[in-house]
Amino acid sequence: MRSLIVLLLLFICMNSHAQTVSQHHLRVELYPQQRSLEAEDRIILPSGSNRTMEFLLHRDLHPASPDGRIVAVGGSSEEILQRYRITLQANSDSFTVVYGGEIFHPPQQDEREARTFENSPGIIASEGVVLSAASGWYPMLEGRHAEKMVTFSLDITMPQDWSAVSQGKRKLKIGKQEGSVSHVTWEESHPQDEIYLIAAPFTEYSNSDSGIEELVYLRKDDSELAQRYLEATSRYIGMYQQLIGTYPYAKFALVENFWETGYGMPSFTLLGSQVIRLPFIVDTSYPHEILHNWWGNSVYVDYRSGNWSEGLTAYLADHLLQEQKGSGAEYRRGTLQKYSDFVSAGRDFPLAGFTSRHSAQSEAVGYGKAMMMFHMLRRRIGDDNFVRALQKLYSGFKFRSASYAEIEKIFSQTAGESLGQFFEQWVQHTGAPQLRLVSADTYPKDKGYELVVIIEQTQQGPAFVLDLPLAVTLKGQEDAYSTLLKMDGKRAEIRLPITGQALRVDVDPEFDVFRRLDRSEIPAALSQVFGAEQLLIVLPRKAGEELRVQYLAAAQRWQQQPGRNTRVVWDDEIENIPKTAAVWLFGWENRWREEFQSAIRGANLSDRGVSFGSTEFPRSGHSFALAARIGQTPAAWLAVEEAAMMPSLARKLPHYSKYSYAVFEGKKTASLAKGVWPLSNSSLAMQIHQSGDSLPDAMRGKLSLRKSLVP
């Protein structure tokens, strides 16, 4: 470590944390060409710590200490992390670890789900450096929770023209004037559950007009792109400060990664090069990552009771932005559709069991169900109470861990009612209600009418307690009459006195209740094939050789996904479309294409291309994916004109699973069109018989316009 060209700064730590978390004084030299680092970490222990300490470190970093003998006590050659033990002197409250070596784990595809992700536990390479707790790049103490939480100063030396990012505030930056190296120091005095180190030859852009340092780190100079993100950073931080409370960190940085990722860390986000250049990301995924600095990265999650932060973040970012556009109901319907398509009864689990997303199924529960739970909670206690409870949760648990039980307590106190049953039902139990509108009849009564509506819950198991919205369309009135049905059994009857003549009843028309959708509420979508437990992939025997090779490679990769039974056949090996499995049909040449065409109502397939009404996309230069139901069988068809298009299409397509169709252009499969087939009749909407046994064809009355949580 004598060769380190660094300036060790004094570590500044808040007094309130000085005796409760470990403090790390890190000095690190990065050698990207050698895929290695050299480091020194001076660790100050919380008061009352044991004299014998254990810590985890990457197996190839070879630690030593002037303060005691370090002994390896666990791990194997196949594990990334090695456990070590050091025994300190009786009066010692700190120790130093000196270590160095290689960390190089190239990103690998995660094949646990149809949507593929690249992950790496840690990498030092000429392209860049990405290190986290999973890398074991610094000594991570084992023992009490307080010892695992850290504050730190991080002093980094790296090649000339490189920059490095971590949590917290940048205290020092020295560039070319040092000759062959660059130098930066970051400090974070708020408790963190891990320390990140990201480095690369970045171009940096910044703005601090708001008092918060807003940063963008790009791998290539692109001032226009950087400015879009800087403006969005300021806009979204301002919005969430107004909604929740003061932003908890000194900076927020967008950092471009050298492989495709979408990670949110305290005070920065790490996004892939393609991701950050998608035009919609700045107003979709980006605010989600900014909001995580309130939920998950400052109010921490007590994972023992379940990860609530992903659902709350999705609700206040992804859902809120759609709500501001007037599309909240459509977003909620899509969320319920994902749950209905991906989560069968045997694959369900409670919110209390969710820790992180690792599949479409876990996302549908941990993000979707949790998001809907917070929506139902808001609808129950009202917007004002909901916002006040959010602010209390943030102010009371900033830089502390919160559990579902503590969230329940805050919301109950704010609402002035016990919400124990609500949280018990939605957090601790599996499943979802499934609704059936049995009947809706109207009778003359006094000077008006009485509407009698009967609804059943048809799912197996006990009934759910629901606040079920009803919309009643009245003759001669533009606006529908809206009310709530309190339902606590498998069957409920509501009798409504109404002044007008009822023409139609709609149950939960804006998808406000978490439930398993009826098939009549779900258009055919790619998710129904991606989420199937039994799947048949049918390949075209008559396609050209290069196409057959690419189709087969994609099918075999999808076949490897766990949790489903997938069979791959050629189209001349089956005599009919099976009724017991979902079906993927590959290729223009597939002999079952005409049967698929007969099942579609919104598009026409011909040898020339695909047309949607008057819009036609030629076969040449385009790739397609469409969903349908052949009888009751979920089915989808995909085709490319050139073999080179297929690998890109296979990677992208799972991200379009909520759509009924998607059209892509060129070898890079740029998205050209996507959409959902229209629905005609929902089983939760019913026309009401009138005198003379007539059944009117009434359109649903206009629903009241709702205010967004943030205008």
Query: What's the confidence (pLDDT) of residue 11?
Result: 31
Query: What's the confidence (pLDDT) of residue 18?
Result: 41
Closest CA relative to residue 59, chosen from 137, 162, 152: 137
Contact by Cβ (8 Å): 646, 550: yes
How does pLDDT run across 171-184, given as a tens digit for each residue? 877 754 556 899 99
How does pLDDT run across 300-317, given as a tens digit for each residue? 999 999 999 999 999 999
Beta bridge pairs of residue 453: 440, 494
DSSP code for 139: -
Structure tokens at 574: 């089956």
How does pLDDT run across 396-447, given as a tens digit for each residue? 999 999 999 999 999 999 999 999 999 999 999 999 999 999 999 998 888 8
CB burial string 264-279: b at 16+ within 10 A, e below: bbbbbbbbbeebbeee
Question: How is the beta sheet containing 81-87 ordered, strand by strand?
Answer: 70-74, 81-87, 52-58, 140-142
Domains of the chain: 1-201 (2.60.40.1730), 299-428 (1.10.390.10), 435-513 (2.60.40), 527-675 (3.30.379)
Query: What's the confidence (pLDDT) of residue 355?
Result: 96
Residue 5 CA to residue 198 CA, distance in Å, equals: 19
Residue 218 CA to residue 225 CA, distance in Å, equals: 9
Query: What's the confidence (pLDDT) of residue 113?
Result: 47
Flag the least confident range among 98-107, 304-313, 520-529, 559-568.
559-568
Show Cβ contacts of residue 358 under 8 Å, excluding neighbours closer than 6 positions.
110, 112, 113
Query: What's the confidence (pLDDT) of residue 1?
Result: 36
State whether the Cα torsion 268-313-192-272 is positive or negative. Answer: negative
Tell me what the mean pLDDT of segment 237-256 comes to: 98
Query: What's the confidence (pLDDT) of residue 180?
Result: 81
Is pLDDT of 2 > 60?
no
What is the pLDDT confidence band of residue 456, given thresholds at 50, 70 and 90? very high
Contact by Cβ (8 Å): 522, 337: yes
How does pLDDT run across 67-78, given as a tens digit for each residue? 999 999 976 556
Is pLDDT of 6 > 50?
no
Query: What's the confidence (pLDDT) of residue 644?
Result: 93
Residue 519 CA to residue 526 CA, distance in Å, equals: 14
Closest CA relative to residue 501, chosen from 471, 473, 464, 530: 473
Closest CA relative to residue 386, chosen from 243, 512, 242, 237: 243
Structure tokens at 287: 């605010």
What is the pLDDT confidence band of residue 14, given thresholds at 50, 70 and 90? very low
What is the pLDDT confidence band of residue 16, given thresholds at 50, 70 and 90? very low
More confident residue, 499 or 386: 386
How does pLDDT run across 324-346, given as a tens digit for each residue? 999 999 999 999 999 999 998 77
Tell me what the mean pLDDT of segment 489-500 comes to: 92
Closest CA relative to residue 370, chosen from 417, 330, 316, 322: 316
Tell me what the mean pLDDT of segment 260-279 comes to: 93
Residue 144 CA to residue 614 CA, distance in Å, equals: 66
> What is the chain's Cα-based Rg?
29
Query: What's the confidence (pLDDT) of residue 178?
Result: 55
Strand, coil or helix: what is 28? strand
Query: What's the confidence (pLDDT) of residue 267?
Result: 98
Is pLDDT of 529 > 70?
yes
Query: What's the confidence (pLDDT) of residue 4?
Result: 32
How does pLDDT run across 184-214, given as a tens digit for each residue? 999 999 999 999 999 999 999 999 888 899 9
Q: What percentage of the chain has pLDDT greater than the value 70?
A: 93
Contact by Cβ (8 Å): 120, 130: yes
Is pLDDT of 229 > 80?
yes
Closest CA relative to residue 158, chosen from 34, 11, 265, 43: 34
Strand, coil or helix: what is 217? strand
Tell me what the mean pLDDT of segment 348-357 comes to: 96
* Cα distance between the two ends of the chain: 55
How does pLDDT run across 107-128, given as a tens digit for each residue? 987 654 444 568 999 999 999 9
Query: What's the confidence (pLDDT) of residue 242?
Result: 97
Residue 451 CA to residue 461 CA, distance in Å, equals: 29
On the CB side of 408, CA atoms within 13 Å amount to: 15
DSSP code for 46: P
Residue 565 CA to residue 328 CA, distance in Å, equals: 35
Closest CA relative to residue 264, chosen from 236, 238, 231: 236
CB burial string 204-232: b at 16+ within 10 A, e below: ebebeeeebbbbbbbbeebeebbebbbeb
**Across all residues in the chain, what is the average pLDDT?**
91
